[in-house]
Structure 1
Amino acid sequence: EQGRYKRIESFTINYNVLANRASNALASQNLALTNSVLSSGQWYRFYIEKSGIYKISRNFLSQLGVSVGNIDPRTIKIFGNGGRMMPQANSSNYPLDPVENAITVVGEEDGSFDANDYILFYGEGPTTYNAESNTNINLFTDKTYYYVNISSGNGKRIQPMPTIEQEADLQITTFQDYQFYEVDENNLVKIGRRWYGDDFDIENQRSYEFNFPNLVTSEPVRFDVYVGSKSETPTSMSVSVNGSAVTTLNLPQVDFSSSVLASGSSFTNDISVSSETITVDLDYNNNGNPSANAYLDYLNITATRNLIYDGDQLRFYNDLVNNNPGIAEYIVNNASDVDAIWDITDRFNVTSTQNPAGENSLTFKTESGEPRMFVAFSSNDFFEPKKDGFSSVANQDLKGNILTNNLGQFQDLDYIIIAPSNFVSQAERLAQINRDQYNLSVKVVELPKIYNEFNCGNPDVAAIRNFVRYVYTNASSPQNRLKYLCLFGDGSYDYKDRIQNNTNIVPAWYSLNSFSLTNSFVSDDFYAMMDDNEGTMSNGDRMDLAVGRILAEDPQRAREMVDKIDLYYQQEAYGSWRNNVIMISDDVDISWERILQETTDGIGNSIEAEKPFINVVKIHSDAFQQESSAAGNRYPQVATAIKDAIEVGALVVNYFGHGGEDGLAKERIFDKDDAQEINNICKFNCFVTVTCEYTKFDDPNRQTAGEFTFWNKNGGAIALITTTRQIFVTVGVSYNEVLDDYLFAFNSNEYPSMAEALRRTKIDNNIAGISQKRLVYFIGDPAMKLAFPKPNIRLSRVNDVPITQPIDTLKALSYAKLAGEVTDVNGNILSNYNGILTATVFDKNIQRQTLANDNVTQNGQTIILDFNTLGEVIFKGQATVENGLFEFDFIVPRDIGIPVGNGKVSFYAQTNSPLSDQAGASFDVKIGGIDENAAEDNIGPVINLFMNDENFVSGGITNESPTLLAKLQDENGINTASGIGHDITAIIDGDETNPFVLNDYYQANVDDYKNGKVSFAFRDLEPGPHTLTLKAWDVYNNSSTAEIQFTVYDKDEELVIDNVLNYPNPFVDYTEFWFNHNSIDPLDISVQIFTVSGKLVRTLNGQTTGGNKAVSSLSKDIVWDGRDDFGDKIGKGVYIYKLKVKSQRLNKQVEKIQKLVIL
């Protein structure tokens, strides 16, 4: 580098056949219930960074925390599984528990661990070649952890090599030496598990030096190089060895607007060299493109050397013995300084041959016919291990305890939550929620404990999978096997925290393909592959349990996400929004994109047909007017429609079309800002995106719209079924259709969890063979089911006439009375059902067409989609359900469609004893025509306006996203039928070009169609004074207007309080202290009460209940009983009080003084 050669100072052995070698007792198929060795004894942890023979001194043991003066060294044991990456294939043999390694303890014979005593053992470092990942470097860790164990019983000791008397069939005087240069610093596309090192940018030429003493020059050298490149033009890398050209690697160009963002090239061949020093020169030709970059993945060289000891630890093997059964005799020359040679073929059961006489030519025999590995060493050349800050290891026993209950009895598990230690409290909250909601058997497992037990403390995705498989396999029966797995924490493409702000909390699996956004996957499916022939993530691997991930990078985020999940099940989250589903499609910019809107529309129709109680809201972008702007084409009406529909509430939001990390569609119909600002608290949806990279969560330094959708504390999604990479449209069509079949449980009333619906989709025969199924992720709690109401509610009478008989047509301005019944799934009336019904009456379906905004044609025909949507809402109100029966009435608006046709009546009922909900629908009501005998009405509705709560006084203060509350009253009811010019509208500061249409936010009161209320949350109003004008119409199309003034203060810059008072005032023994504020955060409150002479008689402290944009800005949180700090009643009269309010977030405090009177 920079004109200098580099010397390779560390290397490992390319001994691939040994990578899976272990005793049969340790085969991963041996998954029977057992106890971990970590369950008892004293355990201490240390680590190594390279392979070799290590010496552990008495002093080092003492540093680990071992009481060296009180131990019998014969009981010292060392456990470790080595530093290699764990195999991904389930069929591979690999230990399931820390394995005891054979060691030598010098000086143990006297039973005392004296000052000059020490331990010798062979340790395998983290640089061991792995064929599954084509790397020399462990992807997950740069350290290999081992354990020292102090417990009863003598430890395993290194035994002598078996003595072989018979003649050798093969003499070994040479060995293969494998050296490499590999540095993992750059992930070219920030996807996949292939990392690169040296970059060829400003410096296009680099040299690498390898030294092979005693090289056998007559034998060829195996040479292997791999490089990657990012360039929009073809480039190349010239490779020469010792000045002779070997090859030129051609690196194809990439189109950074496409899905393949880098390219790679490799060369593997035998070459001849004549020098022990091998210099590799790499010369990058950027083809005149200064922005082109190349990167070196690895240089691997395998050379044959004479078996001559050179003074350092010498590891050696010879491929000749592999396929020649018999006896092999090894002859090590220059061996006078060699004290011993260890056979490390089985790293757990090392054997030794000594050289006590200091023979210069040391010989030993072994059986041949299989690969064998040895190390020769002298007593003055040992490596030293290292310790970190966590030396002591607490006893644990996941294997023995995971399937037992609190009484120590066997108990199957339904659900496991894996979390880092600092997330455990929130994971336990999530576990309890699922116990309460679904009666599941759930356990929380700390991630470090899995690593400790299943890979000796070394992180590896296969350790997690093996733990899950252990639980799954040991169920009492197939039907009682593990069903759900939650990975509680964020993930990152960087396993080793090389990048800033990394979020590798719980690792995800990555494919080796690291260049293509369509063929490189990040996936948690890996943890659900339980069969013996699975694990490599081939297309045929099928998930056996549902997996979900909670995206949280710190404990605060973890708490917020569990808060959302908890709220989803609470009473305030119930409501008729649970009958809604939103279907969104991209527009048509080129002809093949017609399938986007056609598929979306078809799925919406299928949902309506299979689940009639669901109200499908269709938002086809191309059905709205496209507008041009400096930033490109936009659909402002679509963006508004999406946000409004989400805030009204829907169980599922499904989008099919183009998109990416920044949002949906190139017209930006829903972006990161929208994801963070939507306010649908208590109405969280499952956000389904069949698009590209909407939730590419694994790049910590580029947060996506999908992540913000999930993280929104005041709304957004409760879960996402979403894409993390680019998906082909043909795959998207099939995926979306199959997914919705399972998600909505077509032909069934038993709904799976959302993650289980995704699992069934991935193993469905229409999807199972598609590799891109891996890029679809479930974000959320994998056991959570969508809050579908139970069936059924049915219409029984119209205007007192049973629907089995001819019934009246609902005509404009006519009086209508509808009655119905809440039933079980078999149609029996629930006579003990008492609650509140929400009824929504829709006019006839509306036939619509897309507008062909981009004038795209196919076969000479402009592409236009004809589709149906629900009719306008002609009434929405509530009624009392008594003993399973209900009725409600209303006046039909003048603005209905005049032609007669069938409308839809949507029902939703809720009872609180116990808390449950039901839904149903009827299509039996005919709507149309005009009642010519309707009474006259020329008076508009009465309107009363408030902001945030009904105690608001016009001119008061609010935060930037206040909620408008409008109480409406009219003798004949309020019009929501959306006749032209007859909408309920709100206008801010006279801006009539941007009205807020509030029809969907109006609902009549319980059993009273004449009174109702609008509740609408504004988004991010500008600080300062505002005037709001609301206009509403009655069903006769008479209008009224009302105004209210309010002042918005920036919650992020200043804290403001107003309207400070106590109520009642005067009072005897109870009063509340009221004030308005502009904060969405909890505020600290202090009220000091003084006599008029200034003597302090009482101090009251508390906190506001704020916390989200839907909470009132009025605080009534401090109350007083008229007593002093000692509990004594104070005298009657006038008192002064000082109210102080402090924001911890802003570190600001405000105060005001008022008077009160005690009677």
Structure 2
Amino acid sequence: MATNIRIIFIAIIAFLGTIYPAVTHAFSVDTYAPASALASGRWVKISVSTTGMHFIPASSLRSWGFSGVENVAVYGYGGERIPDLLNKTNYKDDLPEVQTITTADGIYFYAKGPMKWNRSKDNRFTHTLNPFSTVGYYFVSDIVSTKRTVEAEGEARESDNAATTYTAMIGHELDEVYLSQSGHMMFGEDFRYTPSRNFNFSLPSKKDDSTVWMSLSFATKTTSVGYLDLTVNGENISGNSRPTIGATTGNNAANRIVSRKELSIEGTSLDLGITYSCSGVVNAANLDAIDLNYTANLEHNGTQTQFTLNSTAAKLANADGNVTVWDVTDPLNIVAMNTTATADGGLAWVNSYTGWRNYVAWNASSSFPQPQYVCAVPNQNLHGITDTPDMLILTTPVLASQAERIANLHRNGPFKLNVLIVDHNLVFDEFTSGMRDVNAYRRFAKMLYDRGNAAGKPLRYLLLMGRATFDNRGLDREMQSLNYPTMATWQTDDGLYENTTFCSDDIMAFLEDDSGASPAGDYCSIAVGRIPARTAQEASDYVDKMIYYQNSAERDLWRNEVMLVADNGNVGIHMEQAESFQTAALAATNDGKNLYFDKVYIDAFPLVGGVCQDARKRQFRLLDNGVMWWAYIGHGDPARLSSEGILSYTDVNNMYQRKYPMFYGATCSFQKWDGPSLSGAEIMALNPRGGVIASISATRSALITENGRLTRAMGQALMRRDDTGLMLPIGEIMRTAKNAIRTTNGGSDNRTRYSLLGDPAMRLVLPSNRVVLESINGEAVTPQTQVTIMARQTITARGYVADHTGSRISDFNGSLMLNIHDAEYSTTSTGIFADDTEGKPVTFDEQGSLLYSGRTQVVNGEWELTLTMPSEVTHNFRPAAMNLYATSSNTEMDAIGCNRDFFVYGFDTSAAPDTLAPVVEYAYLNHPSFTNGGTVNEEPMFMARVRDDVGINLSSAGVGHQMTLKLDNNRSYSDVSLYYTPASDGSPAGTINYPLPTLSNGTHTLTLRVWDTSGNSTSHTLDFFVKEGARPQVFDIYTDVNPAVTAANFYISHDRPDALASVTLSIYDMMGRLVWSAADTDRSNLSATAPITWNLTDLGGNRVPRGIYLYRATVKIDGEEITSEAKRIAVTGR
């Protein structure tokens, strides 16, 4: 991660105006054609590679299906790069008709290729190539009866101050290779193995006394300084001032220099010699571009002459009456010059328009380039969309069916969104003249947004269905080898320097007028997200995951839990930024206090061999238990987080937890989704059986200080509500945060490096309703009352479920889960030196250990729970916490709450005596079939159920009274209570599922000791034998229905709880013929695999006839493969 050394004084971030701007700036609706020109008629797409006059022969038109030339017109605006600045001046709508000259032989027209000449303040000209297209596209059609022609203007006369010379421009550039997988910049000739090269240029019409101005750009990646030696026509021009290219430093891809020289040349040819030398290791040495400017005599060359003048009067030599002069400054509004013949065989004119003007002089009898046929274009009409959508999905064709599933999820969901799905290829023809340019997506969205604004219903969401690519022109060989479609992306021009190159989807959110030129200050008008699926199966898996997350994800306390993970080093700034996220979330709204925070700060844990083993264990335990929001702040790269191993590439590829968090990574490049390899964020999100549900992270290097601003803003945005009182969709969370930190004075563009991987309209499982703790033992719980509960005290807590306005939901009936945590305490980190940076001890607060976990019922919106506190607490008079979650039994409603307005302190001496010890109802390893002394694998799971008449002690405050497991009477595990789950009926009982570490071969004993809240204990001992490589056992394969009517779920019971199991299920008819088969890899749910669903179809997708079928499964666990016995299932008629 790069360090931003600017000092920034940050005030409290104001969120007013971040949902929508105070004033919306939109083009008027009549800016957009009511229907596209492509809506009717025959259309053919053609391409040009250069700028200038072109000719379409009548024979070509006939071969393309047109009957003649009379009614055929040309449309489009060619190949020059479309600017990011979006204003009415440079906006071209749909496919404007081009002015043409039609003869019986064909059609003449002026076309723009992909090269553009840019004039500097000192009137030097350098070129740029369009980074989105190697050609310019036009369209021909027969839809008009009267074509646009070129009208003549200006004065046909000579002038004493007529221009007779102009600045001629020559450009050389080969785009052959990227030196980094980022940015638009490509490079040409390779000088590593051919260190000397010559480039020959002809200088037609050069004025005898004219010098030649040269601009040469060159890039290298080396370990030491390199030099360029330049010769012109054999003469060394470098002398003692050879162009020098420094060694490449840091993570930069290369160094690029631009050398400019004024050359004295005799004659009209220039032979430029370039020699590169370097004494170090040369990983790259490539020419970028050469530009030449010289003063040329204004004379016609016989075919076409293109020139630029800053004079209204001009005199063109060697031009007779057959030469036509066009002013092509505006290629869509070309003006022919009225000219007069001069005595010396030329043409003269005076233009009515002033300033710099572009001209082409051409002779119809000459030969001109002919456009290349591209394809026939079916009719389409995106401009004709009148029902403005809430959400636009742009998709690659292969993912269209999955885009439809997402659309239906929103159409049929509680918000009934109007969703429009469009093949992204269709957008290019109507909005960027056929070029595969990301601005097509943006301009299409802008049209919908402006029309929607006028109708009072603006576009709100844009989802891109398809993977990004840094190689927008398809020139990179590695990207070419990828066998999946990609979508156009916005990139910085620079691709060489780590701190300045990045990819962003924000350009498509910048829809206000005059936006696009200032990423730091532009307002995000809509929420944009991307699902970077490569295949239909990958997309289908992700949509399945989305549907599960929205409809079926486990309903418990994880839905309000936030895990903050922070890196070490950098003077503690990562921890301080994580703390700022919590502070901002808690202070943003009254809702913020309802989040529960867990912290994994690497600097607070010991390093073992440079790896934060304990921090890793805590992080993955929390992920297994479930967290709604997972934030990481620190160093990273595309494959991992933190150099201390908090998340390795192996971890990224093997996350199979059942509760999917939303990931926010304030780190570098973890979401670099436009290269040939999948980033860590993509792998986690596209994992069909685990990982994360969505991700907000940086596509390239990010700046540490600026990350802090975004992190604070994300904390505030997380707990904001929309106009209906519901928590914001994930795209709105990001949009709100980005708008809160935008600057209008040239600030950092760091925020635009962050993108959303996911559906922007999807909402988190964070409930909008609230569980309120009203009283404890009849005393109102408020910040002022300082209610205190004591050790061993029996308390009754009461409360209710409320909606977003605070009103009770009287028809809410269901269950409530409640955890009580001890008083908060302070931890100070070590402050060690890390990542070549100084550390700093940082003191932060954490909530105390779990004291109680239980359940009760919610009846008519109200709840009550009586419980007994454990006998040992920390006696620290700081706020304790009660974390609450309620779920309705007959509706989709749920609610969260977290109360910190009470204290746990003191000891209740009046508590009734309790001498009954807890009871261990059962205990075994791996599976209920385990018998004492049995054989298990080297990493077994201990499983038990315990109960008590008063309460099970979960507190870790007391010495010797913790729930423990002791192995072989010498090794004790004191974190067992973290793996305790309370009984669902609210009784003082629960289950323990504790994963044991790797054990040695041989005989072992394991003793569970459990205490109750009164200090009574019991123990239970198991004897067992560990055998390395012990073969898993499959006990049964079964289905949830038999006979099956619509579908059947199949499960395999085995003795590897929580293990990753690969299952292949096969269905056969009674003749033994394979009817259907499916394979899946998922984490087992304790002692049974995740279900495989058969929808009662055959391999061809057809419903199977009624009858009896056989089913059998092959299971692979821990490298061992086991095949089950065959069983029968009946299928009924429909």
TM-score by length of 2: 0.82
Distance 1:985 1:58 in 2: 90
Matched, 1:584 2:584: no
**Residue identity opposite 2:77 in structure 1:** N
Q: Which amino acid aligns with 2:69?
A: P
Report the Cα offset of residue 992 of structure 1: 8.5
Q: Which residue of the partner structure matches residue 736 of structure 2? A: 760
What does 1:820-859 align with in structure 2 at a 5 Å threshold? 820-825=799-804, 827-854=806-833
CA distance in 1, matches of 2:232, 2:816: 82
Q: Percent identity?
A: 22
Q: 1:480 aligns with which of 432, 453, 457?
A: 457
Task: State how far apart, in whole Å, the 2-side matches of 1:1117 and 1:577 are.
Answer: 27
Structure 2: distance between partners of 1:962 and 1:124: 70
Which residue number corresponds to residue 180 of structure 1? Answer: 171
> For the residues of structure 2 that align with 1:758 and 1:809, how far apart are their CA atoms?
39
CA–CA separation in structure 2 for the residues paired with 1:885 and 1:466: 52
Is contact 2:1083–2:1090 with CA below 8 Å preserved after alignment?
no
Question: Superposition pairs for residues 344-359 of structure 1, below 5 Å?
Answer: 344-348=328-332
Q: CA 1:228–1:941 in structure 2 vs 1: closer, same or farther (change >3 Å)?
A: same
1:328 aligns with 2:314: yes
Q: 1:74 to 1:925 in 2, by over 3 A?
A: same
Q: Report how many residues are paired.
A: 1060
Q: Which range moved further: 294-303 or 898-907?
A: 898-907
**What residue number does 1:119 align with?**
107
Superposed, which structure 2 residues align to 1:756-835 within 5 Å?
A: 756-764=732-740, 769-798=747-776, 811-813=790-792, 815-825=794-804, 827-835=806-814
Choose which of 1018, 1023, 1032 in structure 2 pairs with 1:1038. Answer: 1018
Per-residue CA distance 1:652-695 (angstroms, 9 max, x = gap): 222222222232222121222222323333x3222222222222
Secondary structure, counterpart of 1:788 in structure 2: coil
Relative to structure 1, the CA distance from residue 1045 to residue 1060 in structure 2 (aligned partners, 3 Å threshold; closer, same or farther) is farther
Distance 1:156 1:678 in 2: 62
For the pair 1:734 / 2:709, whether they are aligned, the reply is yes
Are the counterparts in 2 of residues 546 and 755 from structure 1 also a CA contact under 8 Å? Answer: yes
The counterpart of 1:73, out of the listed 69, 76, 79, is 69
Name which of 617, 623, 635 aligns with 2:598.
Answer: 617
- The answer to whether residue 69 in structure 2 is matched with residue 95 in structure 1 is no
8 Å CA contact 2:472, 2:489 repeated in 1? no
2:679, 2:29 → 1: CA distance?
40
Pairing 1:690-1089 to 2, within 5 Å after superposition: 690-701=666-677, 703-745=678-720, 751-764=727-740, 769-798=747-776, 811-813=790-792, 815-825=794-804, 827-854=806-833, 863-897=840-874, 903-922=880-899, 923-924=901-902, 926-929=904-907, 933-938=912-917, 940-945=919-924, 966-978=944-956, 997-1014=975-992, 1031=1008, 1033-1035=1010-1012, 1036-1041=1016-1021, 1059=1036, 1076=1053, 1080=1061, 1083-1087=1064-1068
Q: What does residue 19 of structure 1 align with?
A: none
The secondary structure found in structure 2 opposite 1:1008 is coil
Quick one: distance in 2 between partners of 1:807 and 1:354? 91
Is contact 1:888–1:1007 with CA below 8 Å preserved after alignment? no
In the alignment, which of 209, 219, 226 is matched to residue 228 of structure 1?
Answer: 219
Q: In structure 2, how many angstroms separate the alpha carbons of the residues matched to 1:85 and 1:899? A: 66
Structure 1 residue 637 displacement after superposition: 0.5
Distance change in 2, residues 1:963/1:127 (3 Å): farther
In 1, Cα distance between equivalents of 2:826 and 2:580: 15
Aligned to 2:304: 314
Of 434, 445, 450, 1:468 maps to: 445
| Distance change >3 Å, CA 952–CA 82, structure 1 → 2 | farther
Alpha-carbon spacing, 1:346–1:479, altered in 2? closer, same or farther (3 Å):
closer
Tell whether the 8 Å contact from 2:820 to 2:883 is kept in structure 1 after alignment.
yes
CA positional deviation for 1:29: 10
Partners of 1:259 and 1:1127 in 2: how far apart? 64
**Is this contact kept in 1: 2:226–2:247, CA < 8 A?**
no
- Residue 130 of structure 1 and its aligned partner are, at CA, apart by 5.7
Partner of 1:689: 665
Does the aligned pair in 2 maintain the 1:251–1:263 contact within 8 Å? no
Q: CA deviation at 1:299?
A: 0.3
Alpha-carbon shift at residue 967 of structure 1 (Å) = 4.1
Following superposition of structure 1 onto structure 2, how do residues 613-652 of structure 1 map, counting pairs within 5 Å? 613-628=594-609, 633-652=610-629
Q: Distance in 2 between matches of 1:123 and 1:1026?
A: 84
Question: Counterpart of 1:671?
Answer: 648
Is the contact made by 2:781 and 2:787 (CA closer than 8 Å) also made in structure 1?
Answer: no
Q: Deviations over 1:960-1010 (max 9, x none)?
A: 99998654444444443236676667899x899796945334221223333
CA contact (8 A) 2:830 2:841 kept: yes
1:106 corresponds in structure 2 to 103
2:1000–2:1026 contact (8 Å) kept in structure 1? no
| C-alpha distance in structure 1 between counterparts of 2:937 and 2:142, whole Å | 63
| Equivalent of residue 396 in structure 1, options 380, 389, 398 | 380
Q: C-alpha root-mean-square deviation of aligned residues, in Å?
A: 4.8
Contact 1:753 1:786 survives alignment (8 Å):
yes
1:1156–1:837 Cα change, 3 Å: closer
The superposition leaves residues 757-812 of structure 1 with CA deviations (integer Å, 9 ceiling, x where unpaired) of: 33333333675632322223232222233332234323345467776999996555
Q: State the secondary structure of the residue aligned to 1:95.
A: coil
Which amino acid letter does the alignment assign opposite residue 421 of structure 1?
P
User: In the aligned structure 1, how far is the partner of 2:835 from the partner of 2:805?
Assistant: 50
* SS of 2:1083 mapped into structure 1: coil
Q: Partners of 2:789 and 2:815 in 1: how far apart?
A: 24
Query: Larger RCO: Structure 1 or Structure 2 (Cα < 8 Å, ≥ 6 residues apart)?
Result: 2
Q: Secondary structure at the match of 1:722?
A: strand
Quote how far apart the aligned CAs of 1:458 are: 1.0
Alignment partner, residue 142 of structure 2: 150
CA contact (8 A) 1:1139 1:1151 kept: no
Greater shift, 933-942 or 269-278, is seen at 933-942
Moved more, 617-626 or 768-777: 768-777
Matched with 1:244 is 235
Partner residue in 2 for 1:407: none
| Whole-Å separation in 2 of the counterparts to 1:1016 and 1:203 | 64
Structure 1 segment 428-467 matched on structure 2, within 5 A = 428-435=404-411, 436-467=413-444
Q: Which runs of no fewer than 5 residues in structure 1 stay unpaired? A: 1-26, 108-116, 405-411, 1090-1095, 1131-1136
- Could you tell me whether the CA contact under 8 Å between 1:29 and 1:93 is conserved in 2? no
Bigger CA drift: 134-143 or 848-857? Answer: 848-857
Quickly say closer, same or farther: Cα 1:891–1:207, change in 2 above 3 A.
Answer: same
Unpaired segments of 5 or more residues in structure 2?
1-26, 1097-1103
Shift of 1:341: 6.0
SS in 2 for 1:918: strand
Structure 1 residues 721 and 485: CA distance shift in structure 2, 3 A: same
Moved more, 1101-1110 or 596-605: 1101-1110
Superimposed CA distance per residue, residues 581-633 of structure 1 (whole angstroms, 9 cap, x where no aligned partner): 11122224xxx5123323323443554565222211122222211223xxxx2
Q: Which amino acid aligns with 1:215?
A: K
Change (3 A) 1:679 1:812: farther
Cα displacement (A) at 1:167? 3.9
**Contact persistence 1:832–1:883 (CA under 8 A):** yes
Are 2:391 and 2:459, in contact at CA under 8 Å, matched by a contact in 1?
Answer: yes
Distance 2:787 2:55 in 1: 95
**Alignment partner, residue 253 of structure 1:** 246
Are 2:248 and 2:255, in contact at CA under 8 Å, matched by a contact in 1? no
Q: Which residue does the alignment assign to 1:49?
A: 49
Q: Is the 8 A contact 1:578 1:651 kept in 2?
A: yes
Question: What is the CA-CA distance between 1:373 and the residue it aligns to?
Answer: 1.4
CA–CA separation in structure 2 for the residues paired with 1:912 and 1:330: 87
